[in-house]
């Protein structure tokens, strides 16, 4: 599916932020593990969370969805079981890494596969610590397909992350929880802490402390979790596309409600405000242990910034759309320490660079980031252009937003991937004044 932009977008109005993909997948896994009656509201019915749901059902979770799109988990008579059939996680890197932790901790027999994109992504960063914990794992040179044989993890485990990664951290926590052992994880930089918050929300004995500038997360071996109904807050990564759309078009005002404001995820808001964005935060509250708020994006003038160091893990998913904001800001933006982007759904630094080259946006791409020469003016194109999504949802949506500042329509190719994380993107962006043509 290709999508073509329009040149008369007028962003304004009020929309509700779609549910958070990361939280939706985590609460599915923890909810199924607890094996108690539970209702999940606000769940993101995107392809990635649904792949995780199907994977859990394949090992006996019995998760259902009612007519109101609520997710229902019911107490079942049997525990999880081995799977003789391959478990396909589609494009979901989060689902795969977390399921590997759960299955290893429970000593299950299972084989995991995924689509072409997921199959190309390196998985040693979870395979290695799981193997150290005692799991029997066989992979294809650190990539899919990956098979787990029954094994027992029964010793406490401490691991210092060589690279800050919330998925690796969560994988180890789930393995320790499922195995009933004590785990300690040391992370060099704060990463998103949805798993820790969720575990604490359900009564786990988990604490985070600071030592020599690093985070130390400890999960004890004795955890009696108590399930309760859960509401998924909105995904600030999705809200970022809407915020940038409003900012680069000088929108008279856009309100986005129910946006997750977890401090380990809200870096994109801080970055946009640093760039000069006038964004009001109101109605701040807690929902199932996660902070959220409503955001009002007001007319603003953006300027270039320098981004590196500790902020990068906090904004790693949003860097493509931040790059689009930088392209239409006044002055130079420098992004460093973002080499992690090269092993996402695509090499996102390369994909952004290729798209910018097609549009004539001045920039320089290097190993861990890029320099972007911003200009707030509309891009004058001699003809309509085609840009590759690289089968990456964040690249696809970023360049569709960039189309708002182009004098002629641009076509972004192969946009089916958008449905992995933002299934109602086309309808929602249309509701605030920007039509996309299939």
Please identify every residue annotated as catalytic: 317
Looking up tokens 């590196």 gives 308
Q: Dihedrals φ, ψ of 44, to 5°?
A: -85, 115
Q: From residue 230, give the alpha-carbon distance in Å to each of 27, 80, 200, 235, 284.
A: 8, 22, 13, 15, 18
Residue 161 to residue 186: CA distance in whole angstroms: 6
Phi, psi for residue 255 in degrees, rounded to 5: -105, 130
Torsion angles phi and psi, residue 11, rounded to 5: -75, 120
Beta bridge mates, 231: 41
Place of tokens 């998760």: 63
Name the token pair of 419: 């449905």
Torsion, CA 170, CA 171, CA 172, CA 175, rounded to 10: 120
Looking up tokens 């290729």 gives 354
Reading the block at residue 138, the tokens are 């066989």
Using the 8-state DSSP alphabet, how is residue 349 labeled?
H
**Residue 131 and residue 134: Cα distance in Å, rounded?**
5
């Amino acid at each position: 599916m290709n999508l073509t932009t329009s040149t008369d977008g007028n962003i304004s109005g009020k929309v509700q932020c779609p549910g958070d993909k990361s939280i939706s997948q985590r609460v599915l896994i923890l909810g199924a593990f607890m094996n108690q009656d539970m209702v999940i509201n606000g769940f993101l019915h995107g392809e990635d969370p649904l792949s995780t749901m199907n994977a859990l059902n394949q090992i006996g979770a019995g998760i259902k969805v009612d007519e109101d799109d609520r997710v229902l988990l019911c107490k079942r008579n049997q525990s999880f079981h081995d799977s003789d059939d391959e478990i396909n996680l589609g494009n979901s890197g989060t689902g795969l890494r977390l399921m590997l932790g759960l299955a290893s901790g429970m000593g299950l027999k299972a084989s995991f596969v995924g689509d072409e994109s997921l199959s190309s992504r390196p998985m040693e960063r979870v395979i290695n610590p799981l193997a150290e914990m005692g799991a029997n794992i066989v992979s294809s040179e650190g990539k899919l397909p990956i098979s787990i044989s029954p094994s027992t993890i029964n010793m406490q485990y401490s691991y210092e992350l060589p690279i800050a990664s919330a998925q690796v951290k969560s994988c180890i926590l789930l393995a320790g929880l499922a195995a009933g052992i004590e785990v300690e994880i040391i992370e060099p930089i704060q990463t998103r802490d949805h798993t820790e918050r969720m575990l604490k929300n359900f009564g786990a004995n988990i604490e985070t402390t600071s030592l020599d500038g690093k985070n130390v997360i400890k999960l004890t071996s004795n955890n009696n979790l108590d399930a309760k109904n859960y509401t998924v807050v909105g995904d600030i990564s999705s809200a970022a596309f809407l915020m940038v759309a409003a900012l680069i078009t000088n929108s008279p005002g856009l309100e986005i409600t129910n946006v997750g404001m977890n401090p380990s995820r809200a870096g994109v808001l801080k970055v946009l405000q640093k760039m000069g964005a006038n964004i009001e935060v109101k109605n701040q509250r807690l929902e199932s242990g996660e902070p959220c708020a409503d955001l009002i994006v007001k007319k603003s003038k953006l300027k270039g910034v320098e981004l590196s160091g500790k902020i990068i893990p906090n904004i790693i998913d949003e860097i493509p759309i931040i790059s689009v904001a930088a392209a239409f800001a006044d002055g130079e933006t420098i992004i460093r320490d973002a080499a992690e982007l090269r092993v996402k759904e695509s090499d996102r630094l390369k994909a952004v660079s290729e798209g910018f080259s097609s549009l004539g946006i001045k920039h320089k791409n290097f190993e861990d980031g890029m320099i972007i020469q911003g200009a707030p003016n509309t891009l004058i194109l001699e003809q309509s252009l085609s840009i590759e999504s690289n089968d990456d949802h964040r690249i696809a949506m970023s360049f569709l937003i960039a189309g708002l500042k182009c004098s002629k329509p641009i076509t972004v190719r192969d946009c089916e991937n958008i449905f992995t994380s933002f299934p109602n993107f086309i309808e929602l962006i249309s509701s605030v004044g920007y039509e996309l043509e299939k």
